[in-house]
Structure 1
Amino acid sequence: MRWRPELVLLLVLVLLPILPARAASPPVPRQPPGRVVDLAGVIDTRTEDRLAGLLQDLEQKTSVQMVILTVDSLDGEDINSFSLRVAEQWKLGQKGKDNGLLLSVAVRDRKYRFEVGYGLEEVLPDSLVGTIGRRALVPWFRKGEYGRGILVATGEVIRVLAKHYGVTITGLPQQRMRRSRNNSTDSLVFFLIFLGVVVVGAMRRGRRSVGGIGGRRGPGMIFFPGGGWGGGGGFSGGGFGGFSGGGGGFGGGGASGGW
């Protein structure tokens, strides 16, 4: 079969808009090289090492596998689909427990998402991680302090998980609850969130049991920016060679936001 020039030209014109769209997804490693994958280059070395140490300690004591990923831009891809795709590709969490967690940040797009594995959806419901994102992460991002915001938000997530599993993780950033201008409204909002977590947890326990997770202790108090963020010694980033996901599953649980 001979290809006529006009047919070739027509084929090129049809495929041309499609090719850039397929190449639009930001490239990420096939497997995470470590627990902090800072492709956007917005986390300083000291903070990156500290985050890596905290996440390593979290995994050793709870088996929860959390990874932080930053990219410069999503190049048009939706943050929700991007985060879910990466979490599934990396298979974060333990097989059978599905206790993986991914924090994705797209700097130029000003978007972030917490992707929560099946087995952590009751411990970290959408409403809770949404609150952590808005109150503990966004304020620092608006100042351009990405590493600091990621550290603070990660610390809040780890506090909830540490209380749930009954373990102690040292070196977390020390934060003080940011006071609201309207304390009564703020208290009502947090009461409703807490009540929602309790009700949803009771309903889910009635329908199914999540394998690999012990007694439910529920999330602890959340602390937000407003005080100092120091405290705890630094961590070394060494010892992360060969890091890979354990086969955990995701179903779209989590929360997204922007700043």
Structure 2
Amino acid sequence: MIRRLQKTAAKILLACIALGAMATASNVPSPAPNGVLYDEDRLLSAQEAEFLRALVTEVYLKTDVKIAAVLMNDSRTNETYAYAKEVANKWRLEGSDTKGILVYVSMKERSKHVIASEGFSTSYPNIDFKKIEQKALMPDFRVEKYGRGIVNFIWEISGEILAASGQTLSVNPDNLLADEPFPWQNYIFIGIVFAGLVVAFFYARPKKTRISSTKQAGFNGTFCNFENFNGGFKSR
């Protein structure tokens, strides 16, 4: 009887492990359409994402090294390194015949991993990811500038890869320092909202007040209460 219970318990345990593995695998994000960036929490601004794509594209064209970043809110597992390896496999960044690097960050678990393929480690044995991480990533992460930290980290890695290959980067990082242009569509939206407020204010006033106001020489009222208006229009 005891042996039967032990066998049953063992089967249940194995089934739980298998189900857990399947759940983790199903939670692995599919490769991004551009094959470069999966940013679940939008940690990168539009400028940073565009710069990153240009950067890793140049590295790939010159060296065949594939670099990707997966930035997640919650990987739903405590085994984040194993999970990052699963992502690297699914994104085809692993293997002895592949020169691939995955930068993985999970916000909820506060974890970050750099997965380098066997092919990359063989081709670039002198690149020290820990050293680059302390120099380029951690200073920004400590002040919660995660997007900038990731971009700086990949920038430093890219520079070392090309230097080891006897080449240089042509992507210009100065564009990241400029403010993002305010989208012209936002001006149209602001105009529509403003016109709507004017119309609503005018027609909300009593009819007698509207008629008498036409006889006044000037506008002596107040337009809404802008002291309580905290909104704004921000572009990413």
The answer to whether TM tops 0.5 is yes
Classify 1:126/1:111 alpha carbon distance in 2 versus 1 (closer, same or farther; 3 Å). farther
**Per-residue deviation at 1:230?**
4.5
Code of the residue aligned with 1:157 in structure 2: it is I
After TM superposition, give the deviation of residue 102 of structure 1 in Å.
0.6
Q: Which amino acid aligns with 2:150?
A: I
1:160 Cα deviation from its structure 2 partner: 0.8
Contact 2:104–2:114 under 8 Å retained in 1: yes
* Alignment partner, residue 70 of structure 2: 69
- 8 A contact 1:103–1:113 mirrored in 2: yes
Residue in structure 2 matched with residue 32 of structure 1 by the alignment: 32
- The 8 Å contact of residues 65 and 100 in structure 1, kept in 2 or not, is answered as yes
Residue 99 of structure 2 corresponds to: 99
Closer, same or farther in 2 for the Cα pair 1:27/1:33, shift >3 Å? farther
Distance 1:172 1:116, change over 3 A: farther
Alignment of 1:78 onto 2:79: yes
Which runs of no fewer than 5 residues in structure 1 stay unpaired? Answer: 1-10, 175-228, 232-259
Q: Helix, strand or coil for the counterpart of 2:102? A: strand
| Cα distance, 1:151 vs structure 2 | 0.7
**Structure 2 partner of 1:169:** 169
Local SS of the residue matching 2:38: strand
CA RMSD of aligned residues (A): 3.0
Pair 1:112 & 2:112 matched: yes
Query: C-alpha distance in 1, partners of 2:131/2:144?
Result: 20
Cα distance between partner residues in 2 of 1:33 and 1:20? 28
Contact 1:25 1:75 in 2 (8 A): no
Percent identity between the two aligned chains: 24
Q: CA shift at 1:42, angstroms? A: 1.0
Asked whether the 8 Å contact 2:101–2:115 carries over to 1, the reply is yes
How many residue pairs get aligned? The number is: 165
Which residue matches 1:136? Answer: 136
Q: Which has the larger radius of gyration?
A: 2
Q: C-alpha separation between the residues in 1 aligned to 2:112 and 2:29?
A: 19
Q: Higher helix fraction: Structure 1 or Structure 2?
A: 2
**SS of structure 2 residue aligned to 1:103:** strand
| SS of structure 1 residue aligned to 2:47 | helix
The answer on whether the counterparts of 2:96 and 2:118 sit within 8 Å (CA) in structure 1 is no
CA contact (8 A) 1:26 1:71 kept: no
Which amino acid letter does the alignment assign opposite residue 85 of structure 1? E
Scaled by the length of structure 2, what TM-score is found?
Answer: 0.60
* Map 1:4-19 → 2, pairs under 5 A: none
Cα deviation, 1:69-106, whole Å, max 9, x if unaligned, reads: 1010222232211111111122127x863201111011
Paired AA for residue 79 in structure 1: T
How many angstroms does 1:155 deviate by?
0.7
Q: How many angstroms apart in 2 are the aligned matches of 1:108 and 1:44?
A: 20
Summarize the Cα distance change of 1:126–1:82 in structure 2 as closer, same or farther, 3 Å threshold: farther
Displacement of 1:169: 1.4
Q: Deviations over 1:199-248 (max 9, x none)?
A: xxxxxxxxxxxxxxxxxxxxxxxxxxxxxx749xxxxxxxxxxxxxxxxx
Name the SS of the counterpart of 1:23 in structure 2: helix
Q: Distance in 1 between matches of 2:26 and 2:110?
A: 15
Supply the distance in 2 between the matched residues of 1:149 and 1:81 (Cα, whole angstroms): 23
Displacement of 1:110 in angstroms is 1.4
SS at match of 2:128: helix
The residue aligned with 1:55 is 56
Q: What amino acid is the match of 1:45?
A: A
Quick one: higher RCO (CA 8 Å, sep 6+), 1 or 2?
1
Q: How does 1:184-223 map to 2 (within 5 A)?
A: none
Matched, 1:158 2:140: no
